[in-house]
Amino acid sequence: MAMGQEDEFPLEEQFHKVKNKKDRIFELILKPYYWFRMLCDELHWSFVSGVVIIYGLFGAFSMLSLSLKHKLQLASALLCLMGASAAQAVADVTIDACVTENSISHPSLASDMQSLCGVSSSVGQLIGFTIGGFLVHLIGSKGVFGILSIPAALVILVGMMLHEPFIHDVAYRQVSQKFLAACKAMWMALKCENAWRPCLYMYISLALSLHIHEGMFYWYTDAKGGPLFSKKIVGTISSVGAVGYLLGVLLYQNAFRNHPFRFVLFWSQLLYGASRLLDLILVSRVNLQFGIPDYVVAVSDAAIFHMIGRLRWMPLIVLSSKLCPSGIEGTFFELLVSIDHVGSLTASWAGGLLLHALNVTRTQFDSLWIAIVIRSFSRDLPIGILFLVPNSDPNASILPTEMLKTKRSDDNSKKGEEDLDIQKLEMAPLVTNVDHVDS
């Protein structure tokens, strides 16, 4: 008996050594997280606000490095650009999390909040496209990078304005458990039919929207017998496209936000494919036979295409905000956005392969019109899978009720403590829950 106990204890100690080794590896990976938590505690910041502020400073530093340093090496320049993009992405993720959480708690305001974000983005694009070309001519590209450090630094103000409750005595060693709980919740949400079917539609819809803008750009600027637009004119066309974005958001907000998703997506997808046939008119030079200048056709094409594209994009964004279960709203929304990015990447690769197959290059444009026809046709194909999108009231919830439980409604339930731990991962809503106060 004693001999059995002596054999048992070394095995138990060995098991604990392996377990402790795994814990040490996990703690080593999370060292930056622990350090940043400690910094936030010392400065009395909330964690999310601190992340936004730090990345705002990082983005401004990256832009200033590109502007001020002479003979910057390629690797350093790429790191600076990646840092600036990361800073912008962190701010974007934070705002998306706020909007998504409030879309769950206030379903009737989901389209309004997404429209507000769309208007803000469109106005920013309009300002950037309008003054970008002029600034490059006036102060050069390095000067423009220096100016871009200003909006990057303004992200710091976003972090200061975020209202998030400060949590004391955070159980750092439960991070792995919370991470696994969040992954489990995401997997349960993806298995829900009301969630994976719209995700599949969004990916296929974006993947079939072939991108051949590289071929069109070189035809605009370099083709013999083409319009031979200057960089300034191309920038002006892009600014008009930003106006189209803005008009698309306003059109959705005022005319289509209360219509079912399928209705809006059917007509917007149909017009989305047809709108790019204006490129065919431009490439075939039919417009010149009627005395219509190339610039007028190009500007009209940019405005109409971007307006319809935004009108098509808005219901997908509103739908995505309604597919996020409570507790992991921001994380799940960014997962949906990443699916959209993969779809866009697929469309870019497919468009590039199409141009390569048709032998469309910087100097050869004989088959460009065929690529335009194929692109327009492929963009109408997603109409055949619209049955994947719920045909419900856009102001109503889509996910089952048990997946939309909030922290307040779960306080009196048996699983209140577990849900509370998950809720600590998320930010406090920007909009006060008036319904809860009135009740």
Instruction: Name the residue ranges covered by the structural domains of the chain.
Output: 2-32, 110-138+174-428
- Measured distance CA(362)–CA(135) in Å, rounded: 27
Strand, coil or helix: 408:
coil
From CA 385, how far away is CA 368, in angstroms rounded?
28
Query: What does the pLDDT look like over 286-320, one tens digit per residue?
Result: 888 888 898 888 888 888 988 998 888 888 888 88
Any idea which fold 110-138+174-428 has? Growth Hormone; Chain: A; (1.20.1250)
Which residues lie closer than 8 Å to 210 by C-beta, 6 or more apart? Answer: 347, 350, 351, 354, 371, 374, 375, 378, 379
pLDDT at site 15: 41
Query: Is 362 in a helix, a strand, or coil?
Result: coil
What predicted TM-score, i.e. pTM, was given to this entire model? 0.67
How many CA atoms within 13 Å lie on the side-chain side of 18? 5
CA–CA dist 87, 92 (Å, integer): 9
CA atoms within 13 A of residue 331's CA, in its CB half-sphere: 19
pLDDT attached to residue 46: 53
The pLDDT value recorded for residue 230 is 78
Q: Helices H, strands E: what count in the chain?
A: 17, 0
Nearest to 329 by CA among 107, 113, 98, 134: 98
In this prediction, residue 246 carries a pLDDT of: 84
User: What are the angstrom distances between the C-alpha of 20 and each of 25, 174, 178, 201, 305?
Assistant: 9, 15, 19, 45, 58
List per-block mean pLDDT (blocks of 10 residues) for the chain, which spans 439 residues.
43 45 53 52 52 71 81 82 78 74 73 79 78 77 82 73 58 64 78 83 90 86 82 78 85 86 90 86 88 88 88 84 73 79 90 92 88 91 90 72 53 43 41 40
DSSP type of residue 81: H
CA 49 to chain centre: 20
* pLDDT on residue 65: 83
